[in-house]
Amino acid sequence: MDKLKPCPFCGSSEVELFEMDEEDNPYRAWVVRCHKCDVQTAMFVGSIEQKKRCATNAWNRRVKGE
Ligand SMILES: [Zn+2]
């Protein structure tokens, strides 16, 4: 899996890929979030590996400014 890049907004490396735990959501979604400025990617559902990869890719794409 790709390593997460620093936050595109504040430059912090305190970014984390984690699993959302929502009572009203039957699916376990994965997101990447910056703990400094609280920005995060969309949530992704699917297989665990798919979700992790999609969230990581979405975050890294945002860093590149595409
Ligand atoms: Zn940030």
15-62: pLDDT as tens digits: 999 888 777 766 678 889 999 999 988 878 788 888 899 999 999 998
How many structural domains does the chain have?
1
Range of the domain at 38: 15-64
Inside any domain, residue 9:
no
More confident residue, 3 or 27: 3
pLDDT at residue 35 in the model: 95
Inside any domain, residue 21:
yes
- Cα of 31 vs centre of ligand 1, distance in Å, is 14
Task: Measure the CA–CA gap between 7 and 13, rounded to whole angstroms.
Answer: 6
Q: How confident is the model at residue 65 (pLDDT cuts 50, 70, 90)?
A: low
- Cα of 28 vs centre of ligand 1, distance in Å, is 24
Inside any domain, residue 30:
yes
Inside any domain, residue 8:
no
- Cα of 9 vs centre of ligand 1, distance in Å, is 5
Inside any domain, residue 48:
yes
Inside any domain, residue 5:
no
Inside any domain, residue 40:
yes
- Cα of 24 vs centre of ligand 1, distance in Å, is 27
